[in-house]
Amino acid sequence: MEDLFEAVAKVNQILKRSRKTLVLTGAGASTESGIPDYRSKGTGLWQKFDPMEKASITALLTNPEEFYRFNLPRWSKYIQAEPNVTHRALARLEENGLIYGVITQNIDGLHQKAGSKRVWEVHGHLRTCHCLECGTSYPFTELIGQFNQGINPPNCPQCRGILRPDVVLFEDPMSQDYYSALEEMKDCETLMVVGSSLQVYPVAELPRLAPKLIIINKEPTPWDFKAIIVVHEQAGKFFEKFI
C-alpha cells in the first residue's frame, strides 16, 4: 500500500502520461454524500438482508408492495444527495483531459451532478422508470409521488401495470452501458478503480482488461495484486488532493 502523498503524486504522473484512462467507481465513491455502502463488512445493507429477497426481479414480481417499502424510501434519499469531493475531482480531471470518463456501479447520478460528461452507468440509474406491461417510460418522481400518496405498488397511469425503476436489479441482464463500457476498455491504457470492492460481477472483471491498474479503496480487493498503485483509504481523503 502506498503512502497517501506519494500515491497522489504518482497517480498524477500516470494520468498525465496515459493515452486513455477510465475510472471505475463503486459505492465507496458516494458514501461521503450520505449514501451507504451495500457491502461493507458488518454495516453493509446486504450483510443484514438477502438481496434476492429485497432487490431482485423475483422480489418485485412476487411481493411488489414489500419491494417498494424496502427500496423506495432509500432511493428517494439518493436522488436528493449532493456530489462530494471525489465526484468533483473526477469531473475536473475529465475536464482537464486527464481521464476519459467514468464507469460507475452507482445509481445515484452524482457524477453527472458534479459535471462529468462521459459516464457509463452499468447498474442503471434513478432518473426514470417504466411499466412492466406496456413499457411506457416515466420520470422516477412518478414512483415517489404515487408511493407518498399511499399507492403501493406504484402503477402505470395508462394501463395500471406495475412500474419498475430503470436500475439493474438482481436477476436482471446487464445494461447497455455495461457493453458500451466493455468497448471503451478495448483501448484503455489505465483503469483507476475508486471505492469499489470489486466483488460484483461481471463488472469486477474489468480490471482484467486494463494494462495498468490503480486501486483506491478503503479495504483490500481481489485485484490488489495486479495494481501498480494501491491506496487503502477513503476516496475523499485521496481526491481532496486533486481539488
134 among annotated binding-site residues: yes
Residue 237 identity:
K
Cβ atoms of residues 108 and 37 within 8 Å: no
Give CA–CA dist 75/174, Å, rounded: 20
H/E stretch holding 4 reads helix 4-17
What one-character DSSP code corresponds to residue 35?
P
H/E stretch holding 85 reads helix 85-95
Grid coordinates in use for 51?
438481496
Phi, psi of 127 (to 5 degrees): -90, -30
159 among annotated binding-site residues: yes
Q: Is there a catalytic annotation at residue 125? A: no
- With helix as H, strand as E and coil as C, how does 92-155 read? HHHHCCCCCEEEECCCCCHHHHHCCCCEEECCEEEEEEEECCCCCEEECHHHHHHHHCCCCCCE
Catalytic residue among 111, 123, 130, 232: 123
DSSP assignment string, 156-181: -TTT-PBEEEEE--BTPPPPHHHHHH
What one-character DSSP code corresponds to residue 30?
T
For residue 111, the tally of other CB atoms under 10 A from its CB is 29
What one-character DSSP code corresponds to residue 32?
G
Positions annotated as catalytic residues are 123
Binding residues for Zn(2+): 131, 134, 156, 159
Binding residues: 131, 134, 156, 159
